Amino acid sequence: MSPATIPVADEAVRWIEAGDETVLGVVTRPTTAPRGTGVVFLNGGHGGSSSGKNRIYTRMAAALADLGFHSVRLEWRGIGDSTGAVDEYVMDEPFVEEALGAAQLLRDEGCGRIAVYGECFGARTAVVAAPQLPDLEAMYLVTLVLRDGALSEQNPQRLLDELPAREFVKRLGKLRHIGDARRRRLYVDVARNKARQVVQKARYRREGHRELAPWVGRQVVTGLEHLGARGVPVHLVYGDSYWDPHRYDFEAVAADLAPLRHDTTTWQVLPEMIAGYRTLPVQDHLVALVAEWFDRAVPADG
């Protein structure tokens, strides 16, 4: 097909009021018979503007438009043309209001069913927002981060995992460089994370998740459980790159993560550098996979 004959999706820009911020969204309308389903794209933190890295969301939107889907791609607060400023994206402080605003935009476009694509911080936001989306039909989650906190806090967290509480307390008594403010902040961070993990471990035991690692965020457990109980198809995707720690985190706990046992929840580890969309072929592959999956998960006939 020559470029001149490719159908071009109709698009519109919308400003979404979310709390104190106004975020920019780009709505794409179907090029074929509408399914009445809209897909919300939720970017990773600092993942670029609404079009995404190398315009991956613009391409996904076009592929889905050809299948009859509406979609909206967002710029989080502090990104691109949206208002606000963000220092670090903290996983357990997702921007739910912005996601809900984007979904409402699609309802205003006439969509009776909502689906979500989320990557990294966007995936966490999607899982947390799900209970407030009664018309949610499907969710595609790429590199869902299981740990809480900002990404910069997560490597110290991983180091902590190796350290039993007894050893940890013993080492607290031998702290060096405690006079240095930066080190002190680090120690406080480490201690806070350890305390959080001890509390979380007790809580998971009480709730019957005896084997679940305490660093798995509670939002992830309750969010995925909620989605499974509702029967919403959820697909989790991780990449196979040695430097992508989220995939290792996921594989370490997948067997103990009870919500994954729901029939409607599936996952796969692709033999590609998915995190950060690190190559052009990965992006092309993902665009195709996402279009295929939503096509199957949310059939045109409802």
Interacting residues toward other proteins by CB under 8 A: 3, 6, 8, 10-15, 22, 24, 26, 46, 48-51, 53-55, 58-59, 62, 78-81, 85-88, 151-152, 240-243, 271-273, 276-283
* Shortest spacing between CB 242 and other proteins, in angstroms: 5
The CB density around residue 131, as the number of other CB atoms within 10 Å, is 14
Q: Using alpha carbons, select from 197, 178, 198 the residue that is nearest to residue 187.
A: 178
Place of tokens 């409607």: 264
**Which C-beta is closer to other proteins: that of 37 or that of 58?**
58
Residue 28 or 265 with smaller CB distance to other proteins:
28
Q: Which is nearer to other proteins, 83 or 264 (CB)?
A: 83
Per-position DSSP letters for 95-158, written without gaps between them: -HHHHHHHHHHHHHTT-SEEEEEEETHHHHHHHHHGGG-TTEEEEEEES---S-SBHHHHHHHH
Select 37 or 49, whichever has its Cβ closest to other proteins.
49
Sole residue written with tokens 């790159």: 241
Nearer to other proteins, 112 or 281 (CB): 281
Q: 185 and 176 in contact (C-beta within 8 Å)?
A: no
Planar angle of CA 235, 240, 245, nearest 5 degrees: 90
Identify residue 190 by its one-letter amino acid code.
Answer: V
Q: State in angstroms the smallest separation of the CB of 259 from other proteins.
A: 29
Q: Which is nearer to other proteins, 6 or 169 (CB)?
A: 6
Find the shortest distance in angstroms from Cβ 124 to other proteins: 16
Q: Find the shortest distance in angstroms from Cβ 19 to other proteins.
A: 15
Least distance to other proteins, CB of residue 273, Å: 5
Backbone torsion region of residue 86, taken as left when φ is above 0, otherwise alpha when ψ lies between -120 and 50, otherwise beta: beta
Least distance from C-beta 202 to other proteins, angstroms? 32
CA 181 to chain centre: 33
Beta-bridged to residue 18, according to DSSP, are 21
